[in-house]
Amino acid sequence: MDLNIPDAPEIGGATHVHSGKVRDLYRLESGDLLMVASDRISAYDFVLDTTIPDKGEILTRMSLWWFEQLTELVPHHIVSADVPAAVRGRAVVCRQLEMFPVECVARGYLTGSGLADYRATGEVCGVTLPDGLEDGSRLPEPIFTPATKATLGHHDENVSYDAVVAEVGPADAAALRGLTLKVYARAEEMARECGIILADTKFEFGRDDDGRIVLADEALTPDSSRFWPADQWQPGRTQPSYDKQIVRDWLTSAESGWDRTSGEAPPPLPPEVVELTRAKYVEAYERLTGATF
């Protein structure tokens, strides 16, 4: 599948290592990594032709803010936000880690792929849930619903906790589950105080040279999380959101003319969808952090 990821720009003193759907990764002469967040947006395993202005800077600022809030729970990989001028505001210098091959997902509410699994089996990632839950239902307690890390162009697959144990061993699996749920609980409480529901979120962890488990990549952004306005929460429907659900909803609407099952790349986003998506990302950042973008 051609993901349509543009070539990463050259940055003096940095060697390009890898490009994902949103981020470009470089190695610095110091041995640290330079992680640059672009304005690219992905949906349904495609990188769209259309970018969202300022998105990379919003993601970077929000991650830095959350890393700072969570340091007493888990160390993070950030070394510095002092980066080359060409990528200032949208990049960070971070330590290289031995990454765990697991997407660590916490869900406090039922929606998305978790809802699809529940409707099919009554379970999500091997966790049995009560009967009668709807799209947007709050779960009795948050659950750990890990996924495999898919290669680019393929979809992450939800897996059971036992599959994580088989992949990383019982001690690390327990540590990843514990950290994921602990960080989610703290962030969910903080978001709720700002009038935002943190429905679910995805973390990536790695191990540093001292053997510690470290929070990496991004943290609690609209790309990695579902944020809903608390005063509009109503189970039984798709919730209004501060994330890229706006893009997903337009792509699967009749207006886009795109058939998700066709294998063809999605069409460009119309200006009004771009503007609304940017506005929602900015609003989430400002409501959560209290800062003005």
For 21, the token pair is 């759907």
Surface-to-core class of residue 211, CB atoms within 10 Å of its CB (0-12 exposed, 13-18 middle, 19+ buried): exposed
Average pLDDT of every residue of the chain:
94
Q: Is the pTM of this model over 0.75?
A: yes
Q: What pLDDT is stored for residue 175 in this prediction?
A: 98
Give the per-residue SS3 of 19-65: ECCCEEEEEECCCCEEEEECCEEEECCEEEEEECCCHHHHHHHHHHH
pLDDT score of 1 more than 50: no
Any idea which of 1-5, 57-61, 118-122, 267-271 has the lowest mean pLDDT? 1-5
CATH numbers and ranges of domains, the chain: 14-94 (3.30.200.20), 100-243 (3.30.470.20)
Q: Who contacts 244 (Cβ-Cβ below 8 Å, separation ≥6)? A: 41, 43, 222, 223, 277
Rounded alpha-carbon distances, angstroms, from residue 281 to 131, 147, 231, 277, 286: 34, 25, 18, 6, 9
Q: What pLDDT is stored for residue 15 in this prediction?
A: 94
pLDDT score of 39 more than 60: yes
Q: Who contacts 176 (Cβ-Cβ below 8 Å, separation ≥6)? A: 100, 102, 104, 146, 164, 168, 205, 213
Higher-scoring residue by pLDDT: 152, 134:
134
Q: What pLDDT is stored for residue 208 in this prediction?
A: 96
pLDDT band, very low/low/confident/very high, at 68 (cuts 50, 70, 90): very high
> 15 — phi, psi (to 5°)?
-110, 125
pLDDT score of 2 more than 50: no
b/e map 233-245, b = 16+ CB within 10 Å: eeeeeebebbbbb
pLDDT in tens, 228-248: 999 999 999 999 999 888 899
User: Pairing mode, if any, of strands 225-229 and 123-124?
Assistant: unpaired
Tell me, what DSSP letter sits at residue 121?
Answer: H
The answer to whether 161 and 175 have CB atoms below 8 angstroms apart is no
- Amino acid identity for residue 170 in this structure: P
Long-range pairs of 20-28 with CB within 8 A, sequence gap ≥ 24: 20/152, 21/47, 21/152, 22/56, 22/59, 22/223, 23/217, 28/93
Helical segments of the chain, H only: 55-69, 112-121, 161-168, 170-193, 245-251, 271-289
Helix (H, G, I), strand (E, B) or coil at 66: helix
Any idea which of 67-71, 156-160, 255-259 has the lowest mean pLDDT? 156-160
As a whole number, mean pLDDT of residues 49-58 equals: 96
